[in-house]
Amino acid sequence: MIVKPPKSKAAVTLVETMVAMAVLTIAAVGALSFQYHAAGQSRIAQAQTTATRTAQLLLEDWRSIGGLEDYDPNALALGFSTFLTTPSGQGLSVPDGVYGITIDDVPMLIMLTSNDVAYDPDAGITLRQLTVTIKWGLVLPEDINLGEIVSGRVESMRTLVTLTTYVRLDASSG
């Protein structure tokens, strides 16, 4: 009588196990990488929103007092600090005022500029352009000096927000 060897039961081989582990490892690393980059982009979007809202606040406040050339956001008592000059290398025209503030750990350099763009001598009305420009940068763990405001100097402010509006100045309002 011939004895047949027992049939082997279906099982997972070592190679199949290794391939499955490699696929799971690649998927896990990809998910973690995506989460890391998504968190970074979320932080940038939050800082952009903060800078835009700050510019809008200043522009609306400046416009509400008639667009005066000597507007000073320090009157808002929100923690603005005044710079006497524009930090070098910012690539902007000479502003009427330069201020700094840090909101939600985002340092910002704020430049206010006014420009009379039109005048109607018959009506005595001047159209003044008001511009708020904010340069901001994030302080990142790998580049701790990015965007840091130190003694009136701004290093590596990489992002710019500019908002502009117009205000009508009557001869009676100045």
**Predicted local confidence at residue 147, as pLDDT:** 41
Angle at CA 87, nearest 5°, toward 50 and 112? 55
- Could you read off the pLDDT of 124-161 as tens digits, one per residue? 888 999 999 988 876 544 443 434 444 344 445 667 88
Burial class (CB in 10 A: 0-12, 13-18, 19+), 52: middle
- Which pTM does this prediction carry? 0.66
Residue 164's nearest CA partner among 47, 63, 48, 89 is 63
User: How many CB atoms are located within 10 Å of the residue 135 CB?
Assistant: 23
* Low-confidence spans in the chain with pLDDT less than 50: 140-155, 174
Tell me, yes or no, whether 1 lies in a domain: no
Residue 3 domain flag: no
Distance of CA 125 to the CA centre of its chain: 36
In a domain, 7, yes or no: no
Is residue 62 within 8 A of residue 112, CB to CB? The reply is yes
Classify residue 2: in a domain, yes or no: no
Average pLDDT, the chain: 78
The pLDDT of residue 155 is 44
Q: Which residue type occupies 157?
A: M
* Three-state DSSP class for residue 105: coil
Is 75 a member of any domain? yes
- 174 within domain boundaries: no
Domain count, the chain: 1
Spatial separation of the C-alpha atoms in residues 59 and 165, rounded to whole Å: 7
In which domain, by residue range, is 144 found?
14-169
